Amino acid sequence: MARDDRTAAPARGEPMWLAAGAAVFGVLLGGLAVFLGMQEQPPAHAPAPVTAPPTAVLPELPQQAPAEEHCVTGCSPGKEGSLVEAVALTREMVVTLRSKDTIGAGVVVDDTGLVLTNFHVIAGEIRDGSRRVLSASGTPEVTGAVRARFADGRELPAVLLVADRDQDIALLQLRPADSAERFAAARLGRSSSLRVGEGVFSVGTPLGLEHSVSQGIVAALGRTHILRNKQTPLIQLDASINVGNSGGPLFNLRGDLVGITTATIERAQGIAFAIPVDHIFTLLRALKQGELARSGQIGVEVDSRIAVSEAAAGLGYRNGLVLQQVFAGQPAAQAGLQAGDIIVEARGQRFDAYGAGELARARLAREFVQMVRGLIPGETLALTVLRGETRLPVTLVVAAAPADRQVFIDAEELLGLLLDEKITQPTVDELRPLAPITHWRGREQLLGARLSQIAGVRVQSIHDLRSVLTELRQLGREGTVAISFTLKDGRELPIADFPVSSP
């Protein structure tokens, strides 16, 4: 049974380069374990204690345009302007960014001089690249100022406000001599209004050629598994994107900012990607509100043992998730979902590729868990559900997992451990099927064991565990960590290389 918590690596075989330079809880999947040679030995040394991630202090963020159509001077509402007009309108808003080892681009998004770009454009200036989210709060994270140059040749320093490595986003602040100076800023469009085939253009510094314009179309929407955060939905383009285009704006032909150029496929021609502006500002708002470290949730319970109905099969659906319960006041209930509904599509994609049968449904449920948990609170999720023989399109606004649930989600996602929620001391109830730890030969010893130490930090309660896992989530990378368990018979079991999964 799967219960909602009421709460970037390239695709294999596809070389990538960055062009600069609700969870459902307790899904049982089964699967065979494979011995990976984990040894039961104490760590060679105790790492430094883990600290909580910094809190980002951001200025007021600019507002996006209303969802309805809008246009620039010289065009009628709902009509696209010409490329020449749109480029002229946006010219003063684009900057070339130079850091220690990298050249890229950015775009001014408000009149005080906030500049959006990619994390990897300014990565060479970062002191500690191991952290997922960097903030200017407290100790400065940047060794020197990035230089921003406008189309007319004027150059200003820019300092980092916040950056997210896994989402490849950074927000900078221009530092003019007169702090009261105001700048021309891009109008923030709505990437959710983009259509496949719609004309767009990017501006950047390909191969050092500043303020170069490249035109193309939207080739596809909602591409995932491209960036380090595999759930980030990207806009696929057919525009000519090269090294140096990273961080540059993607505009529609009305001159509205709809994305930030981020990556391309090395072996392909005319395939590139941009981060949607809706996603970017949802991310920044969640960070400002302190919700970025929280998983997404939609408030449903599903049981992967239940097969899709004959009605669903009659409509051609091989797989789906049957809702057993929809929790009141949560996103699914607010969107009108009901028990008995069957989710058959997410983000415009059917689930048929998973195949049919209980194992396929279990695999689908687990993938759905990860997708929902990877969404940013405030982000939208488009679903198609079946109610009898009626197909219903539904759009949910994802909520943040409650703080008291997040520690259990993190233990499951990061460590593969399902903890007993009735015990105040962190005690292993089950192992998440297919988690890396399930490949360990001695995994059975962990059932009923209590976590006693992680990364040199003593863990005596769920509260202690929460702060440690928050830090592991902030590091946001796969690897290993030293963990000690107290077994049911009282023996201590130290594991020097316990596997950690990226959230």
- Catalytic positions, please? 120, 168, 246
Contacts of 344 (CB under 8 A, 6+ apart): 308, 312, 317, 319, 320, 350, 351, 384, 385, 386, 391
Compute the distance between CA of residue 348 and CA of residue 498 in angstroms, rounded to an integer. 37
Compute the distance between CA of residue 20 and CA of residue 174 in angstroms, rounded to an integer. 20
Residue with tokens 């929620």: 421
CB 376 within 8 A of CB 282: yes
Element (H, E) at 386: strand 380-387
Compute the distance between CA of residue 245 and CA of residue 247 in angstroms, rounded to an integer. 6
In Å, what is the CA distance from 458 to each residue of 47, 363, 447, 453, 467?
Answer: 12, 35, 20, 4, 11
Residue among 251, 264, 190 nearest 223 (CA): 264
Exposed e or buried b for every residue in 304-320, given b needs 16+ CB within 10 A? Answer: bebebbeebeeeebbbb
Residue among 319, 321, 323 nearest 332 (CA): 323
Q: At what angle do helices 462-475 and 403-410 cross, to 10 degrees?
A: 70
In Å, what is the CA distance from 422 to each residue of 221, 246, 286, 419, 425?
Answer: 43, 48, 30, 9, 9
List phi, psi (to 5°) of 402: -60, 145
* Residue 159 burial (10 A CB sphere; 0-12, 13-18, 19+): middle
Going through 102-255 in order, the beta strands assigned E by DSSP cover: 103-108, 114-117, 133-135, 146-149, 155-164, 169-174, 187-188, 199-204, 212-223, 234-237, 249-252
Element (H, E) at 484: strand 479-486
Compute the distance between CA of residue 435 and CA of residue 170 in angstroms, rounded to an integer. 32
Element (H, E) at 468: helix 462-475
Which structure tokens are listed for 181? 């100076």
Residue among 269, 267, 186, 202 nearest 235 (CA): 202
Collapsed DSSP state (helix, strand, coil) of residue 21: coil
